Amino acid sequence: MSTQTLPGFDLAKVRADFPTLHQEVNGKPLVYFDNAATSQKPQLVIDRLDQYYARENSNVHRGVHTLSQQATDAYEHTRSLVQQMINAQHQHEIIYTKGTTEGINLIAFSFGQKYIKEGDEIIISTMEHHSNIVPWQLLCERTGAKLKVVPIFESGELDFEAYKNMLSEKTKLVSMVYISNSLGTINPMPEIIKLAHERDIPVLVDAAQVVPHMAVDVQELDADFMVFSGHKMFGPTGTGILYGKEKWLNDLPPWMGGGDMIKVVRFDHTTYSDLPHKFEAGTPNIAGAIGLGAGIEYINSIGYDAISAWEHELLAYGTEQLGTIPDIRFVGTAKEKASVISFLIGDIHPYDAGTILDQLGIAIRTGHHCTQPLMHHLQIPGTMRASFAFYNTKEEIDRLVEGIHRVKKMFG
Ligand code: C6P
């Protein structure tokens, strides 16, 4: 077990909370470095799901009976935890989704329907995930609007001057990733938003890779919309959050129709619920939302300061140790980086390396990481990507380095 190097952070205790970490894969103790894809779940979250299904299972916002009221209270409690976590002004600014992807699609549909027409422009960047590209392409196809893509430098940093010059009276929305899942780049989001707001342009922040790792204050950031996924922040799969400023969410039309999002339904006219329910049609992922609440409480029990500090250590150690491997090429060397290391080793195909590492019990992600346009821009087929969470250790990084030496012997 790793000796912890930070005061107030007990790594051994933290690791004990995650049952998945304590198993062998292919006969070797698991090293889980695929946290950007999804995080592992603490026992507390697993137990909370179990408790809900074993004793509390009921639909929300519908019944006067006790179980339904308990389920509703627990479901809404998570909303208040999310509100506190991101410092939203109102609880009804928190909309449940099934993930980052759904949040972006919701805004592309609703905002698009109300505000986007032929000739308008939407700005994204070269390092976007497919979920922050394709919904806008679909919108552009529907409306005749244009997608503008901010270029990046060799280091994986955003060309801020180019962004500045791209903003115009045609720009109706900026939708940008805060932390790149493929490069680890932390974009200067406060400045991105400030510049857009000088022209009254709203900004959607893709915070999928932010919320598991560092504190975000939506009011300080002045984000108009922010989206993220619960499963990357120690909660269940199929959960996510769309934050939107009250004025926007009140203004935009609903995107899905059905139960729970209505006030009065008549065949000739229907009125919609107030926020947040206007955007939550149908029976939601109740267990997921309640489990997500347990995940947030877990994050709170450790604290973002400790999480960010330890992950920073892992990033520095990982970069240094991997840097000792001959022929390594880091993909993404921004000054401001999160705990994601993408790399290539000589001519070895990432898929081959990933397969050998898996045999050694080491889980990394290989490929394009759902950022094909970025890979195309970099003229590479993909990368090997090690993404760390606060429960990872320096010893695990040593095992990755040893593993890569094995891969080099086999393919080099
Ligand atoms: N990135 C990765 O391995 P969903 O699938 O909706 O939970 O999240 C989509 C998404 C959106 N934006 C960013 C920046 C992301 O990193 C992701 C998910 C995972 O990098 C799976 S492709």
What pLDDT, in 10s, does the model give residues 151-175? 999 999 999 999 999 999 999 999 9
76 has a pLDDT exceeding 80: yes
Active site residue 140: no
236 and 263 in contact (C-beta within 8 Å)? no
Does the global pTM surpass 0.75?
Answer: yes
Which pLDDT score is estimated for 158?
98
Measured by CA distance, the residue closest to atom 5 of ligand 1 is: 101
Average pLDDT over residues 66-83: 97
Pocket of ligand 1, beta carbon within 6 A = 36-37, 99-101, 129, 131-132, 177, 181, 206, 208-209, 229, 365, 369-370
Average pLDDT over residues 367-375: 98
Q: Token digits for 201?
A: 């342009």
What pLDDT, in 10s, does the model give residues 307-319? 999 999 999 999 9
pLDDT band at 3 (very low <50, low <70, confident <90, very high): low
- CA pair distance 115, 385, nearest whole angstrom: 38
2 has a pLDDT exceeding 60: no
How much distance in Å is there from the Cα of 275 to the middle of ligand 1?
26
Least trusted range by pLDDT, from 5-14, 153-162, 185-194, 237-246: 5-14
User: Where do the domains of the chain lie, and which CATH numbers do they carry?
Assistant: 11-32+303-410 (3.90.1150.10), 47-300 (3.40.640.10)
Instruction: For the beta carbon of residue 119, count every other beta carbon within 10 angstroms.
Output: 11
Measured by CA distance, the residue closest to atom 19 of ligand 1 is: 37
How much distance in Å is there from the Cα of 37 to the middle of ligand 1?
6
Which pLDDT score is estimated for 1?
42
Q: Among the options 177, 249, 357, 370, which is catalytic?
A: 370
How much distance in Å is there from the Cα of 104 to the middle of ligand 1?
12
Measured by CA distance, the residue closest to atom 18 of ligand 1 is: 37
Which pLDDT score is estimated for 398?
98
Of 99, 27, 127, 92, the residue nearest 279 (C-alpha): 92
Which pLDDT score is estimated for 44?
97
- CA pair distance 134, 131, nearest whole angstrom: 6
What pLDDT, in 10s, does the model give residues 195-236? 999 999 999 999 999 999 999 999 999 999 999 999 999 999
330 has a pLDDT exceeding 60: yes
Beta bridge partners of 177: 206
How much distance in Å is there from the Cα of 56 to the middle of ligand 1?
31
Of 49, 14, 5, the residue nearest 298 (C-alpha): 14
49 and 39 in contact (C-beta within 8 Å)? no
Mean pLDDT over each residue of the chain, to the nearest integer? 97
120 has a pLDDT exceeding 50: yes
